[in-house]
Amino acid sequence: MSRRALRALLLLAGASVLLAVWAFPILWGLLTSLKTERDVLAYPPKLIFEPTLANYREVLFGSASILPNLWSSLVVTGITTILTMLLAVPAAYALARLDLPGKRSGGFYVLATQMLPPVGLIIPYFLVLQRVGWLDTYQGMIAIYLTFSLPFAIWLMVSYLEDVPREMEEAALLDRAGRIRTLLYVILPQVRGGIAVTTIFVFLNAWNEFLFAVVLGGNRVRTVNVAMFNFISVEQTLWARLAAAAMIAMAPVIILGLLAQRHIVKGLTVGAVKGGGRR
């Protein structure tokens, strides 16, 4: 075997091991979701078994259907993500480009809100929402979700916007495009990848959020994470249904990831100025 082939083989083996670490839990979950509760506990674990869709039927249409919870999650996460991006991009642009008084301290303050552990914020949030009657409502949850997704998105976007060459902006401004048009037609297309990445992260953070959802939500707004937790009851853990619910809850994130992937790659490869990027 040539040296080269050996090297390729070793790399492949290394990559497979790393990939397995990532893929194993998901594959295991997928298999579990297709088993009966009895097969889930079988030893040695059954790799060949009669697959059943009963768990999916049960979690989607059974007595403890997670469909309303999926809807809650989608509404909370979707609106949070849209609002975050609408507000974060202009804010990040201002922090990256404009000469504002107090820009540095303002930027630091945005970050500072991220430094408190969420557990420390939960009681004040609970009290505020209770006062205004927003506990267990969509507007309440979204407002709270913005508090952690906005700073995160702003800071991520600032780093992308700072990488756009100033020359492009100056050229557009010289052509009398104006700030807003420059931002919309010149800058934003350059940071498409950044926007896609930020959107995904904001969506992921909100989708997987648990602490605020369980404390500030309730019967009306219960996200799919919290609903899933109820499969682990004090009486028993319904592993197969839990796995089926987890598989379903993963789907929107995976779909979003696949949709955004094209833009991420494009955002990375398209260079407007030769040798572009920050020098």
Partner 1 sequence: MTRDFDDRATRCRAINRRQLLQHAAAFGAGALAAPAIVGNALAQQAGIGSYQQAKINWRQAAGEQITVAVIPASYFDNLISLAPDFEALTGVSVRFEKVPPGQIRQKAMLDLTSKTATYATHAADPMYYPLYVSNKWVEPLDRFVADTTLTDNAWFNYEDVLRAWRDANSVEGKLYGMPYDGEVTVQVYRKDVYDAKGLKPADTLDQFVENAKAVHDPNNRLWAVALRGFAGAGQNMYIYPSLFRSFGGNWFEGGKIRVNSAAAVSALDWYVDVQSRFAPAAVRNWNWPDIADAFSQGTLGVYIDAHSSAAVLNNPEKSKVIGKIGYARWPKGPNGKRVTSIWNWGFPINAALSDKAKRATWLFITWAASAETQARTSWRFAGPAKRSGVNRTSLWRSPDFVGLMRASGSNFVEAALESLEQDTDVDWRPRVPQWPAVGETMATAIQSALVGQKKSKDALDEAQTRIDQIMRG
Contact residues toward partner 1 (CB under 8 A) are 36-38, 41-43, 122-123, 126-127, 130, 135, 214-215, 218-219, 226, 229-230, 232-237
Smallest distance, partner 1 to C-beta of residue 55, A: 12
Least distance in angstroms from the C-beta of 146 to partner 1: 21
Quote the least distance from Cβ 32 to partner 1, whole Å: 13
Cα–Cα distance between 217 and 230 in angstroms, integer? 14
Our CA dihedral for 75, 76, 77, 79, rounded to 10 degrees, sits at 70
Q: Which is nearer to partner 1, 135 or 246 (CB)?
A: 135
141 and 83 Cβ atoms separated by less than 8 Å: no
Alpha carbons 96 and 5: distance in angstroms, whole number: 47
Amino acid at position 271, single letter: G
For partner 1, the closer CB: 113 or 237 = 237
Our CB check for partner 1 shows the closer of 99 and 235 to be 235
Q: Is 191 helix (H, G, I), strand (E, B) or coil?
A: coil
- Comparing CB distances to partner 1, the nearer of 28 and 109 is 28
Nearer to partner 1, 96 or 244 (CB): 244
Query: Alpha helix (H) ranges present in 98-137?
Result: 103-112, 118-132
Nearest distance, CB of residue 24 and partner 1, angstroms:
18
First-last CA distance in the chain: 44
Helices 3-33 and 239-269 meet at what angle, rounded to 10?
140
CB of 67 to partner 1, least distance (A): 16
Residue type present at position 54: A
